[in-house]
Amino acid sequence: MKSVSTRDKNWVKVLIPLLGILAVVAMAYAETIDLLVRQWLKNDDFSHGLLIPPVAAYLAWQRRELLRRTTIKTDWRALLVLVSALGVYLVGELGAELFTVRVSMLLLFIGAIWLVYGLQVMRILRFPLALLFLMLPLPGFIYRNITFPLQLLSSKWSVNLLQAFGVSAFREGNIVDLGFNQLQVVEACNGLRFILPLFTLGVLLAFMGRFVWWKRLVIIAATIPIAIMANILRIAGTGIVSNTWGAGAAQGFFHSFSGWVVFMVCLVFFGILAWILYLLPGKPAPARQAPAQAGTAAPDALTISRLSWTSLIIVLLLIALVPAVVGRMAQLPARQLKKPLQEFPAYFEGYSGVFSEMDEKMWERVGGQNYALIQYRAQSRPPVHFYTAYYEYQRKAGDFIHSPKLCLPGAGWFIQENRTRTVLFDQPVEMIGAGLTFNELVISNMGQRQLVYYWYQGRNRNFTNEYLAKFYLIWDGIWRRRTDGALVRLVLPLEGVDLVEARQLLDRFAVFASNRLTEFLP
């Protein structure tokens, strides 16, 4: 039998490649990791991500006895995973999508482990490695599209619950009206800060417990309704406290403390569900057995004879070159405007426009290179607010077009109507075609209503769909070597204005804006 010191030396030899891979990945993705940690710390919906890496490391450590009986063998098939990771990285850079870049980081790490240590090690560590994907915040466009429906769902059922308790409550969009007081179910109350950590907890409970596959699916699937119910209970409880002791009592300490109480209630529901599933018939999953290895002298023997230092060096060099290679491929030349947007026409059909400046901090968050913010006014006619922001290129670190459909709910606006419309031009416009297609929104906030048009224009294209815009951003970045573009937005307040008349007016403004922009965009 090998001595303890010899066995420890073997473990050191095995851990050195892992530490090297971790170090090189950290250096290659330093900016990505920094932004990830900042998002964990600033956004409560994703703060559970801080706990996942140490949990995954602990789960891997629990499998050390299996790893001791496993043969390490270089597996060059993992190169396919590494190459795929580089492709995903390039797509993320060109598509200005930080989530995709983060996925490439994990794929690169997993591919490196697979190549250096072999498929048997990967099979043992597959759950801890897969768990790491749950630490990634959702993509921005998916996150926003989920939060708003969750706000509406939570508002609706919390009002139903309040009415069941005898509280006079009504709902208008995401506003819970208690008569003397109004509760706004803002983006932070969408319920994701319950859903995401509970989903992670459900995955851990399902796979760490000895459950058959269908019981695991039940546990994981149950996390979403339990979390939504918890959020509804929290909002309804806030309404009851506000109705009984006043609006001030429902804020501050109670608002924060109630989140912890509701989360503990969710854990109780999890425990009850796990106990019920344990009582139900179903053969438990068999305990993991260590794979038999030919020639293994003892249970604690560690086979490292096939550890290839050449493969490790290749992997480290490949990871180290990722930023340089992908950065060079994604480094696109800036496309400057033909002329600055400050020269945009200030007169249209009796309207006179006044240019204004955006707050510096807000413009820094927008991340563009040029913009025009114009208030068009005419006597006895509703004002029209015109805004366009131009990007000479788009990058994942904030320098990309942000959809109003995603940003407006974050600012407290409720989208009452959402449709896509097309207005035909009197004369076809070069590079745009016979008509203009745009998104139309009717939004409201605390009794105020507005009509909003927006679309994306640039690179001889016109978009209304965020997903299609992302696709062509990547396509044009690869084949045309450009990712420039502009966001165009028109807003008309609906105070005392008929919606049909407002549409007719804003339609003409949209055609005017689109036609004139062709004189500015490259």
DSSP string, 4-62: HHHHHHHHHHHHHHHHHHHHHHHHHTHHHHHHHHHHHHH-GGGGGGGTHHHHHHHHHHH
Looking at residue 352, what is its pLDDT?
Answer: 94
Distance CA 104, CA 334 (A): 26
Domains in the chain, please, with CATH? 4-136+296-330 (no CATH), 141-279 (no CATH), 341-517 (3.40.1000)
The CA distances from residue 318 to 85, 91, 293, 311, 474, in Å, are 11, 18, 31, 10, 23
The H-or-E segment that residue 470 falls in is: helix 466-479
Predicted confidence at residue 11, as pLDDT, reads 65
Kind and range of the H or E element at 184?
A: strand 182-184
pLDDT at 186 over 90: no
How many CB atoms lie under 10 A from the CB of residue 450?
19
Helix (H) or strand (E) holding 384: strand 381-391
Counting Cα atoms < 13 Å in the Cβ hemisphere of 328 gives: 4
pLDDT at residue number 190: 58
Determine the 3-state secondary structure of 401 from DSSP. coil
Q: Which residue has the higher pLDDT, 71 or 450?
A: 450
What pLDDT, on the 0 to 100 scale, is given for residue 383? 93
Query: Does the pLDDT at position 6 exceed 50?
Result: no
> What pLDDT score was predicted for residue 65?
84
Please state, in angstroms and rounded to a whole number, the distance separating the CA atoms of residues 60 and 55.
9
Give the residue among 180, 169, 179 at the shortest CA–CA distance from 235. Answer: 169
Does the pLDDT of residue 27 top 60, yes or no?
A: yes
pLDDT at residue number 308: 72
- Choice among 88-97, 106-115, 366-375, 384-393 with the minimum mean pLDDT: 88-97
Among residues of the chain, what percentage have pLDDT more than 90? 27
User: How many CB atoms within 10 Å of residue 386?
Assistant: 23
Q: Which residue in this structure is represented by tokens 């006043």?
A: 246
Q: Pick 257 or 208 by higher pLDDT.
A: 208
CA-to-CA dists, residue 208 to 12, 127, 224, 266, 273, angstroms: 28, 10, 19, 19, 15
Tell how far CA 279 is from the center of its chain.
38
- Give the tens place of pLDDT for each residue, 470-518: 888 888 888 888 888 999 999 999 988 889 999 999 999 999 999 999 9
Strand ranges (E), 430-518: 433-445, 448-458, 461-463, 485-493
Look at 138 and 254; give whichever has higher pLDDT: 138
Residue range 242-277, pLDDT digits in tens: 666 655 555 654 555 566 777 787 888 878 888 888
Distance CA 227, CA 129 (A): 25
Top pLDDT among 297 and 127 is at 127
Note the pLDDT of residue 172: 64
* 446 has pLDDT over 90: no
| Separation of alpha carbons 39 and 124, rounded Å | 31
Q: In whole angstroms, give the CA distance from residue 404 to residue 383.
A: 19
Tens-digit pLDDT profile for residues 420-434: 998 876 654 444 456
Q: Which residues pair with 423 in a beta bridge?
A: 436
The reported pLDDT for the residue numbered 205 is 84
* High-pLDDT (> 70) share of the chain, %: 79
Give pLDDT, residue 4.
Answer: 44
Half-sphere exposure of 84 (CA within 13 A, CB side): 12
The whole-number average pLDDT for the span 125-146 is 85
